[in-house]
Structure 1
């Protein structure tokens, strides 16, 4: 059901050397049989309905000359055009009226402002009129932003679900929530139940919170802008297309509930677990098994495991065992990868330790770009020259890897920093969210690279 490849960035490490890093690539790809078994899909849309969602952001609009105050913010009144909530409603209606959903798909709608309300519990996607009524009710709410209560209501919805399914939550918000700490704590429950959070932010949201929610749960990130998107940005007018694609992505999660178990020997510690492709996430390391999300049909999913290794004598040694469990919801069955030994040669031969697996390093470098961007944005106001150097490093790495959208976003940020000695809020969101987003696939197709015997050996079948 699942083809697996393990590769270290080095097969040899220097002996008698303390505090060494070893990066191990865990590459997964569902078999053709698994890819053909479409899973049942459960998707909860958690929508911000606070007062700022009624801001006009698209279409032809004419100012009336009046000023309105809503939720403590002043807005210039206009007529015509589309508000954020209009476009969200249009996007959800487009999804449920499309041909992309069937009787195996279930949808729920939850709103949050000062309070949260379940507008539609888990509803078969074929009950279009019921879902339409719930979606149109999104206009009935306003107030502040309390996302945590909406996340609790979402978890309540999932708690009533029976059987295996691909599960996902999409959060759309345009403001800063009052209960950020609660949201972060709740994200750990989403992670434990393998419910990835796709977070879309537009306007004055706090990007670090959305990054935390996405990382913790193994989800995705989008920075949404009103018009003229550049690089990794997404136009709010393209929201219908993006929401359909997110639902389609959940439908392609034919392997779910990946549980990673790593048993290390004395002197070896697992310190990070990253998803490097098709987009990035950094998972918390708690009690095993570590829940690391899902694997999509007809594509690879790549993780990087980072180990810290204490000094060892020259020898060929097993430093860890790596195992996996997973669900195949389309076939209602569980699968397992028997523990695989991770072997490293510790040597005093300097020639051997210079050889590196470039594919592993390319994926690790893509994850490093996000860290470099985070450092640059953090110090930009006080140390613009140092931030410029960091962004140049991230840009060079991105050029070499070939991520064109991120190259454009980083180039724009460098130009802005050079001219103004600052990074604006919108640009900061763009590069921080974008550097955690879609990555570039490296190497070849695992299904073509491995022989039948190698696949059987790697998968334990």
Structure 2
């Protein structure tokens, strides 16, 4: 039955001016679970894959152990959990088991010590092997990977394992602790599996605790699986760019685009979170009147109700007018989303320019990002962008901490809309 999700579509304007040429429109599509399934709770199949290499010695290891223990304490007897630790070797600390004896599991975690190098693929392989033992249609499969260092020589193995995890609907959350890890690799691991990646600053134990706890709670709140959003376009309406706007900002590649439609895999949805997609369209000239320029549809499964292939649709209707005053009226909510996406886009381009040695272009984009961030009230991020621009001008290069803060924190800009 339909009604488990809402699909809300807005555009940057309700009315567009009648012109003799093409013009740009932004379409924001928001998908959220309804109260009809808010009570549901799917059991977990959750794996922790934890780096305990020598560089984790000290506060990092203590904080990681505290976070892992907290994550286990959030689980119930109906959930399955496994714990794998790795350095340049791997050990299955706790094989897949019901989370019915958290005391025994946390005691094992407390005994972890730091030693050795870093070989992420070993941990991933063992962690996925444990999760595969608990693969069931009614369970939410998650792997939480934490590392503080770079892996060497096995990057391709990591990506192959992540792709395999994605095919088996095991989403990997890849967390980098501190500043000395490969952000590109963790992003690729997460992306290939349908998961996410994040930056955990060193010296902030509350952040790692909160991050682990949030990952478990988000998995427990999953109510919809295999959601896909499709935007079918009218003739001569062309897609230009597509961004995932929430819960994290992410530019989606050309594979989601065709001249007929936009297709975005949303994956799992939880009852507490809105997923949204922002599409930039190029509209053809129109005479005055109202036109359907596209139709949005979300297709999804609700395993808890034994529902598969359910659908919700919404037409995208735009008015064209010769009344210039009417055409100037805009939707401030959509424009705010566009501004936040633009701020993230600017810093992304700045990092790309800096990586290839285009210092002038990188500096300009960092300062443009800083201006946008200030306008959005993000003073701390704006200061970081300006500081990194100054470092580039002095020939010092961007700092690892500043780069990671900009890369990961600007992804979360749309999460702060509820605070406005």
**Structure 2 unaligned blocks of 5 or more:** none
Report the equivalent of 1:61: none
Kindly tell me: are residues 409 and 155 of structure 1, through their superposed partners in 2, closer, same or farther at Cα, counting changes over 3 Å? same
Alignment of 1:287-436 (within 5 A): 290-299=264-273, 301-309=274-282, 311-314=284-287, 316-334=290-308, 336-345=310-319, 351-380=325-354, 382=357, 384=359, 386-403=361-378, 406-407=381-382, 409-410=384-385, 412-413=387-388, 416=391, 422-436=397-411
For residues 44 and 403 of structure 1, the distance between their equivalents in structure 2, rounded to whole angstroms, comes to 35
Superposition TM-score, scaled by structure 2 size: 0.80
Post-superposition Cα deviations, 1:5-48, rounded to whole Å, max 9, x if no partner, equal: 11122344555534x54322112232234222222223222223
1:37 and 2:12 equivalent?
no
Kindly tell me: are residues 395 and 103 of structure 1, through their superposed partners in 2, closer, same or farther at Cα, counting changes over 3 Å? same
Report the equivalent of 1:211: 187
Kindly tell me: are residues 428 and 444 of structure 1, through their superposed partners in 2, closer, same or farther at Cα, counting changes over 3 Å? closer
Cα offset for 1:348?
Answer: 6.4
1:17 and 2:21 equivalent?
yes
Find the residue that maps to 2:414 and give its secondary structure: coil
Alignment of 1:136-285 (within 5 A): 139=113, 142-145=116-119, 147-160=120-133, 161-177=135-151, 178-191=153-166, 193-201=168-176, 202-217=178-193, 219-227=195-203, 235-236=204-205, 238-270=207-239, 272-283=241-252, 285=255
For residues 416 and 402 of structure 1, the distance between their equivalents in structure 2, rounded to whole angstroms, comes to 23
For residues 408 and 219 of structure 1, the distance between their equivalents in structure 2, rounded to whole angstroms, comes to 30
For residues 209 and 264 of structure 1, the distance between their equivalents in structure 2, rounded to whole angstroms, comes to 35
Cα offset for 1:223?
Answer: 2.2
Cα offset for 1:393?
Answer: 2.3
Post-superposition Cα deviations, 1:156-179, rounded to whole Å, max 9, x if no partner, equal: 444441123333322211222233
Q: Which deviates more, 151-160 or 243-252? A: 151-160
Contact kept? 1:176, 1:205, Cα under 8 Å:
yes
Contact kept? 2:8, 2:314, Cα under 8 Å:
no
Post-superposition Cα deviations, 1:166-203, rounded to whole Å, max 9, x if no partner, equal: 33322211222233344345444545555443222133
Kindly tell me: are residues 436 and 193 of structure 1, through their superposed partners in 2, closer, same or farther at Cα, counting changes over 3 Å? farther
Post-superposition Cα deviations, 1:49-107, rounded to whole Å, max 9, x if no partner, equal: 444334x3x3xxxxxxxxxxxxxxxxxxxxxxxxx3443233212332x3x22123222
1:104 and 2:108 equivalent?
no
1:5 and 2:8 equivalent?
yes
Report the equivalent of 1:449: none
For residues 117 and 138 of structure 1, the distance between their equivalents in structure 2, rounded to whole angstroms, comes to 11
**Structure 1 unaligned blocks of 5 or more:** 59-83, 228-234, 446-461
For residues 137 and 374 of structure 2, the distance between their equivalents in structure 1, rounded to whole angstroms, comes to 44
Kindly tell me: are residues 346 and 112 of structure 1, through their superposed partners in 2, closer, same or farther at Cα, counting changes over 3 Å? farther
Aligned residue pair count: 406
Superposition TM-score, scaled by structure 1 size: 0.74
Cα offset for 1:331?
Answer: 4.3
Q: Name the Cα RMSD after superposition.
A: 3.6
Kindly tell me: are residues 198 and 367 of structure 1, through their superposed partners in 2, closer, same or farther at Cα, counting changes over 3 Å? farther
Kindly tell me: are residues 266 and 212 of structure 1, through their superposed partners in 2, closer, same or farther at Cα, counting changes over 3 Å? farther
Kindly tell me: are residues 125 and 152 of structure 1, through their superposed partners in 2, closer, same or farther at Cα, counting changes over 3 Å? same
Kindly tell me: are residues 310 and 27 of structure 1, through their superposed partners in 2, closer, same or farther at Cα, counting changes over 3 Å? closer
Kindly tell me: are residues 319 and 159 of structure 1, through their superposed partners in 2, closer, same or farther at Cα, counting changes over 3 Å? farther
For residues 128 and 264 of structure 2, the distance between their equivalents in structure 1, rounded to whole angstroms, comes to 20
Cα offset for 1:289?
Answer: 6.1
1:95 and 2:99 equivalent?
no
For residues 181 and 321 of structure 2, the distance between their equivalents in structure 1, rounded to whole angstroms, comes to 51
